[in-house]
Amino acid sequence: MITVSACLIVKNEEKVLKRCLECLKTIADEIVIVDTGSTDGTKETAAQYTDKIYDFEWVDNFSAARNYAFSLCTMDYIYSADADEIIDEENIRAFTELKRILSYDVEIVQMVYKNQFEYNTTYNFDSELRPKLYKRLRTFKWEGRVHEAVETAPVILDSEIEIVHKPEGLHSGRDFGLFKKAIMLDGGLSKRLRKMYARELAVSGTDEDFADASDYFGKAAEEETDEDSLKEDLYVLMRASRVKKDDLSFMKYSHRALAIGATSETAYELGEFYRLRGDEREAEIWYYNALHETTPVLNIKYGGEYAEKNISVITGEGEEK
């Protein structure tokens, strides 16, 4: 049977940490908690479950904190958990069985990460496979009878174990600052982080957040060749142009968005553009398009409740979003 270190980085997670650790205490052989500056009762709660609690001076870098936390683990595998996750009894039993049968050749186990839309989240999916369990020490092997080479691809197992993401609130305000710092210090963002930046803007960005992001996304859009990424960039630029009352830029970006294929977000922005100018008939057409004719790429609500609510307002059946 393998052994497992449950590893968390935390800050001010007193409200949710206990329910997480209650789940982990039966499946983890050790629990390692790295605190990045809590001012509430997070450490006191953690101390009820483990004595392996460490401080890490926050340096605006989640990877640095994660790497430090991983370095403190001592078991065969490391389960990377967040404080706002829970595992129900059925999946705890499945995790325990996985520990019993898992081959040591497996280096990463993916689990089904489930988001529940009644909770605040930046994700648009019900569930996705996500790497959660990592072999702590990797063994490199040579392969091939001739022209031998070291196998570098990890051995990955896709399990059916479900982890429920149940946050109390969003961390977007914190993340926007980190995105901007990364752009300034690193010269830009990876495609994955740019998508996360756009997604968090779509979920919880203020007008000011969009205006702040416009220069970066404008440059990114000029260089982007992937249509899916460009659709996300153009939504941000449409929203930023609208809030800055730059109609010429708004029309430029909306024309580009329509040329490559409208999304629920870009259709909704066109609805907002016309609604705010008093043209409710045209606004209703674009809200309808967002609701029925397009697909959301960043925030599922633009293809659902947001558009539906504004149509209801125009037709006199509801209150404006």
**What confidence score (pLDDT) does residue 316 get?**
84
Q: Work out how many domains the chain is built from and give that number.
A: 2
Spatial neighbors of 245 by CB under 8 A, at least 6 apart, are none
Q: Is 212 helix (H, G, I), strand (E, B) or coil?
A: helix
Whether 186 and 306 share a structural domain: yes
Amino acid at 138: R
**What confidence score (pLDDT) does residue 119 get?**
44
Whether 44 and 141 share a structural domain: yes
Whether 237 and 300 share a structural domain: yes
**What confidence score (pLDDT) does residue 12 get?**
95
Backbone angles phi, psi at 80, to 5 degrees: -90, 110
Place of tokens 């070291």: 150
CA distances, 122 to each of 31, 54, 117, 125 (Å): 27, 29, 10, 9
Q: Which two tokens stand for residue 110?
A: 């993916």
Contact 253, 265 (CB under 8 A): no
**What confidence score (pLDDT) does residue 320 get?**
57
Q: Is 193 helix (H, G, I), strand (E, B) or coil?
A: helix
Spatial neighbors of 63 by CB under 8 A, at least 6 apart, are none
**What confidence score (pLDDT) does residue 185 get?**
87
**What does pTM read for this prediction?**
0.74
Whole-angstrom Cα distance, residue 227 to residue 219?
A: 15
**What confidence score (pLDDT) does residue 141 get?**
81
Give the domain CATH number at 49.
3.90.550.10
Contact 2, 76 (CB under 8 A): yes
**What confidence score (pLDDT) does residue 120 get?**
44
Residues in the chain: 321
Q: Is 29 helix (H, G, I), strand (E, B) or coil?
A: coil
Whether 194 and 272 share a structural domain: yes
Whether 134 and 192 share a structural domain: no
Average pLDDT across each block of 10 residues of the chain; the chain has 321 residues. List them in order: 97 96 97 97 97 95 94 98 96 97 95 70 65 93 77 91 82 76 89 92 93 95 94 97 96 97 97 96 97 94 94 79 56
Whether 180 and 161 share a structural domain: no
